[in-house]
Amino acid sequence: MTTTGSCMCGNIRYQFTGEPAVTALCHCIDCQKWTGGAFTSNAVVPRTAFSVTQGTPNSYDAVGASGKINKHFFCPNCGSSLYTELEVMPDMTCVKAGGLDGGAANLGNKIGVEFYVKDRPQYLQPCEGAKQEPQFG
């Protein structure tokens, strides 16, 4: 199974094969700032299963709470937030699910874990069945 995605303008296209290892929402302040939204929704996949198939994203290095680098990849043309590579998770890619094609943005309507729920707005409810982490892990 191959899942494809793109930025808003279509300059960057990417894909991953297989099912995500985990589906996760992240409510941290960096995710809010980076996307302009209340949280990010993520398909966490092995880096070996992920590839950019068109275009070259730019990246921005943010220093996470761990002190390690969180690399943020985005479209240089339209600015869409695409995926992150965390130094603390060297084997995984966190694909921002909003960019996925064909309805895959809903992550199968199953969220495995929510991170940084301490920063989650009060107007949102916890996802049913999702592990609730006050911060990361």
Our CB check for Zn ion shows the closer of 18 and 69 to be: 69
Q: Which is nearer to Zn ion, 51 or 135 (CB)?
A: 135
Residues ≥6 apart with Cβ < 8 Å to 1: 17, 18, 19
CA distance 129 to 39: 18
Given candidates 62, 63, 65, 78, which one binds Zn ion under the rule CB under 5 A? 78
User: CA 118 to CA 61: how far, in whole Å?
Assistant: 23
Contacting Zn ion (CB under 5 A), which of 3, 5, 7, 74?
A: 7
Give yes or no for residue 28 binding Zn ion (CB under 5 A).
yes
**Residue 9 token pair:** 């303008």
Q: Which is nearer to Zn ion, 9 or 124 (CB)?
A: 9
Per-residue tokens: 48: 């070996």
Smallest distance from the beta carbon of 127 to Zn ion, in angstroms?
Answer: 15
65 binds Zn ion (CB under 5 A): no
